[in-house]
């Protein structure tokens, strides 16, 4: 029998006694690692935009924005308002969840005015005639330290002080 190298235990290192399952643990963990990008393909971690359509008697509102995001991502929120009746002074009011931990890079076209409505972002869009459309593009960036699980992002469409539509959705932001 040739001399066995120091620190080598033949039962353990050659016959792999007690190590039979190690390879399966390794394969299991590797499968978990590989599962992450597979899950990501199904938009679990964002950032594919979702479309939400609301229709009311006075107007319809189409919101196009991702509801799953990650720190640092740039994304667009698109608000497409179609007036079914004349809207004298349209206001798009966004709940604080839209701005919390976000950089708002641009709003196009610029609203007539911006104000705070009980802590909400109130964007005055002006007159939208019956049958006309107004598309508001907002470009955001998620601040890298922003983490959220089911944060409310509510949107209100008002005509002056009259509420036309309300929509609430949740956003999840992964670290």
What is the DSSP annotation of 68-85? Answer: EEETT-EEEEEEEEEESS
* CB 103, min distance to other proteins, A: 11
For other proteins, the closer of residues 56 and 71 by Cβ is: 71
Name which of 35, 32, 64 is nearest 48 in CA terms: 64
Rounded to 5°, angle at Cα 35 from 66 and 140: 20
For other proteins, the closer of residues 70 and 120 by Cβ is: 70
For other proteins, the closer of residues 40 and 55 by Cβ is: 40
Q: CA–CA separation, 122 vs 86, rounded Å?
A: 20
* CB 144, min distance to other proteins, A: 4
Site residues (vs other proteins, CB under 8 A): 2, 4-5, 7-8, 10, 12-14, 16, 19, 22-23, 26-27, 29-30, 33, 71-72, 144-145, 175
* CB 35, min distance to other proteins, A: 12
In sign, the C-alpha dihedral spanning 115, 118, 119, 123 is negative
């Amino acid at each position: 029998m040739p001399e066995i190298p120091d620190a080598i235990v033949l039962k353990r290192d050659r016959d792999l006694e007690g190590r039979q399952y190690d390879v399966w643990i390794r394969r299991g963990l590797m499968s978990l690692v590989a599962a992450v990008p597979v899950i990501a393909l199904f938009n679990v971690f964002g950032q594919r935009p979702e479309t939400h359509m609301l229709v009311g008697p006075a107007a319809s509102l189409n919101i196009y924005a991702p509801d799953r995001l990650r720190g640092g991502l740039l994304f667009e929120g698109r608000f497409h308002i179609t007036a079914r009746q004349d809207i004298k002074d349209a206001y798009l009011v966004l709940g604080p969840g839209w701005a919390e931990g976000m950089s708002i890079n641009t709003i196009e076209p610029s609203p007539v005015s911006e104000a705070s409505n009980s802590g909400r972002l109130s964007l005055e869009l002006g007159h939208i005639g019956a049958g006309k459309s107004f598309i508001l593009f907002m470009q955001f960036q998620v601040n890298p330290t922003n983490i959220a699980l089911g944060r409310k992002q509510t949107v209100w469409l008002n005509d002056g002080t009259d509420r036309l539509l309300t929509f609430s959705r949740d956003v999840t932001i992964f670290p």
